[in-house]
Amino acid sequence: MSKTKKDAIAIHVNGVGKYFGSEPNLVKALDNVSIDIRRNEFFTLLGPSGCGKTTLLRLIAGFESPTFGQMLLDNQDITNLPPYHRSVNTVFQSYALFPHLTVAENISFGLEMLKKPKHEISATVDEMLALVHMEELKHRRTDQISGGQQQRVALARALAPKPDVLLLDEPLSALDYKLRRGMQIELKRLQLETGITFIFVTHDQEEALTMSDRIAVMSNGHILQVGTPNEIYYNPQERFVADFIGESNFIEAEVVSVTKGRPATASLRLAGTRKTFKANMPASKSKDKTATVFIRPEHAKLQKSTRGATLTGTLTNMLFFGTDTNYHLELDNGEAFVVRSQNEIGHAFHPAIGDKLGVVIDEQAIQVLKD
Amino acid sequence: MARKLSEMEAERIKRKNLANWLLSMPALLLLLFAASGPLLIVIFYSFLTPGNYGGIVWEFSGDAWFKVLFSQDIFDDTISLSDAHLSIFWRSVQLSFLTTLICLILGFPTAYFIATRPPKTRNIWLFLITIPFWTNLLIRTFAILELIRNKGVVNNSLISLGIINEPINMLYTDMAIVIGMTYVYLPLMVLPIYAAMERFDFRYVEAGFDLYASRFKVMWRIILPIIKPGVIAGSILVFVPSLGAYVTPRILGGGKNLMIGNLIELQFGQGKNWPLGAALAVTMLLIVLLALIFYMRISQRSEQKDAQ
């Protein structure tokens, strides 16, 4: 009934923790994590290695059971259900294709275990082979095909039983850069075509931003922030999130005044200077006198004159990147600041190292962080 | 230039080949003299005439080969199939097959257990498996005899526990031979299966569970097919020496339940018919060869089936 409803919850993770070992060597791989993953969503768990993203995936798959907490799949408790009783399939990082079976036999394995009728199995296998463009290699052994092709077979094998949720554990990490870009587009297409909920684990922020409907950024067994790629990129709530995704400037500032509203704004002053500027305030920010302010390098603009500038500083270095140039500045209070601007042909503005310059930043692009 | 390079390459490969031959020469010579030599002598002897007090007479005769399968009545010279020899062959194959099967049933879970231990403790378990090899086979076989005889440890404990009233007669039966051979050859089954299992990637098991396979299905459809080479190697290593076993059936079979090994020994000893002994030995070799070809055919056929 609610299958077509877009916002229905596919996976509900409620206060789940996973501890390994015992005191004094207790490792809290996951600590009190709660999350709702919607149906038909491309959801990404993003974080550095050891942040607990793979552990969370393995709990959802059923390879491990949580130390505490509860998990629901389509409103049914799956916390202690073995993996072979969950309508969840996994694309493994190592692919784990069965070496004694052919491509087609690998894909049909899950269907055979579900005791589907023979004609249905062969029809689904052909359908899956077509979906991942592998029709010609149907009868090959899995060690006779390339890494990219193995990746496709692993995908087809996991999609064939038409699970409610597909888990992908860093499936692109073993591919070279070009192949990886191609597979990113392919994965997104497969998700849209099949309408299956994808939960994707990666440490690659670019991968997360390009493919996901929503992203959960994880660190040290906790989920720090959940949001769309836009929200995560433009309005990170915590320093770790801002730092992990893209390049960031962090500057310390004094809070002069706070204006309530939605969103709340603050008037700030760069520590040690007189210049004030406005910024977005997060909802749950404590009322400290100082705050960390976050600005993306590409949201700042350089200008020759210091008049009317949000911040001022001295140019210390320039790094040319082809499409862009990074300008490294030392602000008046001594803090470092980077401005990234696109290179244009016939650009008249050629600053030199040692020049005193102004930096203009839109209020919308200045974000006060929670911590 | 290109031609010169290819010539140099050919020269290099030639020299490398020569080096490889020289390096393997000691082993090849040893094999030639220590394995092929005695075998050729045995085959040669099987075509000679037996001497009156053992040994051979240098005179060609096909008599030994005739006697392997047929016997001639002393009184009326009628020729009939040699029941005694055939039944011993058949018993040997049966008992060896049974031993292999029991070793497989016992050895597989053992190997699985060891392979799934943490790497540090695995070596301890392997070490324990090899301990029986430290003691002489004869002594170990007598120890088994002590265990299973009518007033032995097994029967006495069963009686004192009240499970049985009369001792079970195990000694000097086919069962005693199978128990003895299973005990002796079990490590030869465990080790190759362990070697295959150790290389087995247990992520396949997770992949199987993930694709709705139960524990039984994972064992049957994933683990067993992948470690099949280990199972085949173990089975051959148990079956072949079982077929030629001599000490175990001699002691535990009590001389009544002969196997091929005992029959051969009889010809060289009391029977004083060396050519017949030699012919029987070659026959056993052929049985092993046939069994191996049969086994290979089966595994090849299942592989071809897999590839289709």
Q: What percent of chain A has pLDDT over 70?
A: 95
Asked whether A17 and A31 are in contact (CB, 8 A), the reply is yes
Residue A3 lies in a domain: no
pLDDT at A310: 85
Residue A4 lies in a domain: no
Q: Is A40 on the interface with B (CB under 8 A)?
A: no
Q: Is A109 on the interface with B (CB under 8 A)?
A: yes
Q: Is A54 on the interface with B (CB under 8 A)?
A: no
- Own/partner pairs, B296-301, CB within 8 angstroms, 24+ separation: B299/B228, B299/B232
pLDDT at B231: 92
Q: Is B202 on the interface with A (CB under 8 A)?
A: no
- Among residues A176, A188, A191, A200, the alpha carbon closest in space to that of A91 is found at A200
- Output the DSSP codes for A165-209: EEEEESTTTTS-HHHHHHHHHHHHHHHHHH--EEEEEES-HHHHH
Q: Does residue A171 sit in the same domain as residue A300? A: no
Q: Does residue A35 sit in the same domain as residue A165? A: yes
Tell me the CATH number at A68: 3.40.50.300
pLDDT at B303: 61
Residue A299, exposed/middle/buried by CB under 10 A (0-12, 13-18, 19+)? middle
Select the more confidently predicted residue: A176 or B94.
B94
Q: B259 to chain A, minimum CA–CA distance in Å? A: 39
Q: Does residue A228 sit in the same domain as residue A107? A: yes
Q: What is the pLDDT of residues B231-269, one digit of tens each?
A: 999 999 999 999 989 889 999 988 778 888 899 988 888
- This prediction has a pTM of 0.79
The domain in which residue A122 lies consists of 9-242
Select the more confidently predicted residue: B256 or B143.
B143
Q: Is A144 on the interface with B (CB under 8 A)?
A: no
pLDDT band for position B3 (cuts 50, 70, 90) = low
Residue A1 lies in a domain: no
Residue of B nearest to A105 (CA): B306
Q: Is B207 on the interface with A (CB under 8 A)?
A: yes
Q: Does residue A180 sit in the same domain as residue A251? A: no
Tell me the CATH number at A335: 2.40.50.140
Q: Does residue A221 sit in the same domain as residue A275? A: no
Domain boundaries, chain B: 2-49+56-79, 82-307
pLDDT at B58: 87
- Output the DSSP codes for A145-164: S-HHHHHHHHHHHHHTT--S
pLDDT band for position A2 (cuts 50, 70, 90) = very low
Residue of A nearest to B228 (CA): A100
- As a whole number, mean pLDDT of residues A297-323 equals 88
> Given an 8 Å threshold on Cβ–Cβ distance, is B214 in contact with A61?
no
> Given an 8 Å threshold on Cβ–Cβ distance, is A110 in contact with B203?
no
Q: A214 to chain B, minimum CA–CA distance in Å? A: 25
Residue of B nearest to A109 (CA): B211
pLDDT at B108 over 60: yes
Please report residues of B whose CB lies closer than 8 A to that of A170.
Answer: none
> Given an 8 Å threshold on Cβ–Cβ distance, is B212 in contact with A114?
yes
Highest mean pLDDT among A302-311, B67-76, B92-101: B92-101
Q: Does residue A361 sit in the same domain as residue A314? A: yes
> Given an 8 Å threshold on Cβ–Cβ distance, is A113 in contact with B201?
no
pLDDT at B12: 87
pLDDT at A284: 64
Q: What percent of chain B has pLDDT over 90?
A: 45
Closest CB to A110: pick one of B211, B222, B225.
B211
pLDDT band for position B2 (cuts 50, 70, 90) = low
Q: Does domain B82-307 have CATH number 2.20.25.90?
A: no
Please report residues of A whose CB lies closer than 8 A to that of B308.
Answer: 139
pLDDT at B278 over 50: yes
Q: What is the mean pLDDT of chain A?
A: 88
Q: Does residue A261 sit in the same domain as residue A218? A: no
- Among residues B103, B128, B109, the alpha carbon closest in space to that of B238 is found at B103
Q: What is the pLDDT of residues A248-280, one digit of tens each?
A: 999 888 888 888 777 788 888 887 777 788 888
Residue of B nearest to A162 (CA): B211
The rounded distance, in Å, linking the Cα atoms of A280 and A295 is 11
Residue A116 lies in a domain: yes
Q: Does residue A270 sit in the same domain as residue A156? A: no
> Given an 8 Å threshold on Cβ–Cβ distance, is B213 in contact with A109?
yes
> Given an 8 Å threshold on Cβ–Cβ distance, is A92 in contact with B225?
no
Q: Does residue A290 sit in the same domain as residue A353? A: yes
Residue A293 lies in a domain: yes
Residue of A nearest to B215 (CA): A84
Residue B242 phi/psi, 5-degree rounding, is -60, -40
Residue of B nearest to A101 (CA): B306
Q: Which of A207, A242, A277 is the last residue of a domain?
A: A242
- Among residues A160, A134, A144, the alpha carbon closest in space to that of A100 is found at A144
Asked whether A194 and A159 are in contact (CB, 8 A), the reply is yes
Q: Which of A227, A242, A257 is the last residue of a domain?
A: A242
Select the more confidently predicted residue: B300 or B225.
B225
pLDDT at A218: 95
Angle subtended at Cα B152 by Cα B150 and Cα B157, rounded to the nearest 5 degrees: 105
Q: Which of A90, A92, A109 to mutate to test the interface with B (most CBs of B within 10 A)?
A: A109
pLDDT at A348: 65
Total Cβ atoms within 10 A of residue A350: 7
Residue A23 lies in a domain: yes
Number of domains in chain A: 2
Q: Is A192 on the interface with B (CB under 8 A)?
A: no
pLDDT at B307 over 60: no
Closest CB to B306: pick one of A82, A100, A114.
A100
Closest CB to A100: pick one of B203, B210, B226.
B226
Select the more confidently predicted residue: A178 or A226.
A226
Asked whether A351 and A304 are in contact (CB, 8 A), the reply is yes
Q: A163 to chain B, minimum CA–CA distance in Å? A: 10
Please report residues of A whose CB lies closer than 8 A to that of B221.
Answer: 109
The rounded distance, in Å, linking the Cα atoms of A164 and A3 is 10
Closest CB to B210: pick one of A90, A100, A114.
A90
pLDDT at B308: 46
pLDDT at A338 over 60: yes
> Given an 8 Å threshold on Cβ–Cβ distance, is A102 in contact with B226?
no
> Given an 8 Å threshold on Cβ–Cβ distance, is B226 in contact with A99?
yes
pLDDT at B271: 84
Q: A111 to chain B, minimum CA–CA distance in Å? A: 8
Residue A202 lies in a domain: yes
Angle subtended at Cα B256 by Cα B255 and Cα B258, rounded to the nearest 5 degrees: 75
> Given an 8 Å threshold on Cβ–Cβ distance, is A113 in contact with B226?
no
Q: Is A140 on the interface with B (CB under 8 A)?
A: no
Q: Which of A102, A113, A140 to mutate to test the interface with B (most CBs of B within 10 A)?
A: A113
Q: Does residue A107 sit in the same domain as residue A81? A: yes
Q: Does residue A252 sit in the same domain as residue A341? A: yes
Q: Which of A242, A258, A288 is the last residue of a domain?
A: A242
Reported ipTM: the value is 0.83
Minimum mean pLDDT among A2-6, A33-37, A162-166, B101-105: which range?
A2-6
Closest CB to A161: pick one of B206, B211, B306.
B211
pLDDT band for position A1 (cuts 50, 70, 90) = very low
Q: What is the pLDDT of residues B149-178, one digit of tens each?
A: 888 888 889 888 888 888 888 888 889 999
pLDDT at A227 over 70: yes
Q: What is the pLDDT of residues B177-194, one digit of tens each?
A: 999 999 999 999 999 999
> Given an 8 Å threshold on Cβ–Cβ distance, is B306 in contact with A96?
no
Q: Does residue A115 sit in the same domain as residue A191? A: yes
Please report residues of B whose CB lies closer than 8 A to that of A98.
Answer: 204, 207-208, 222, 226
Q: A125 to chain B, minimum CA–CA distance in Å? A: 14
> Given an 8 Å threshold on Cβ–Cβ distance, is A102 in contact with B307?
yes
Q: B145 to chain A, minimum CA–CA distance in Å? A: 44
β strands within B88-219, DSSP E: none
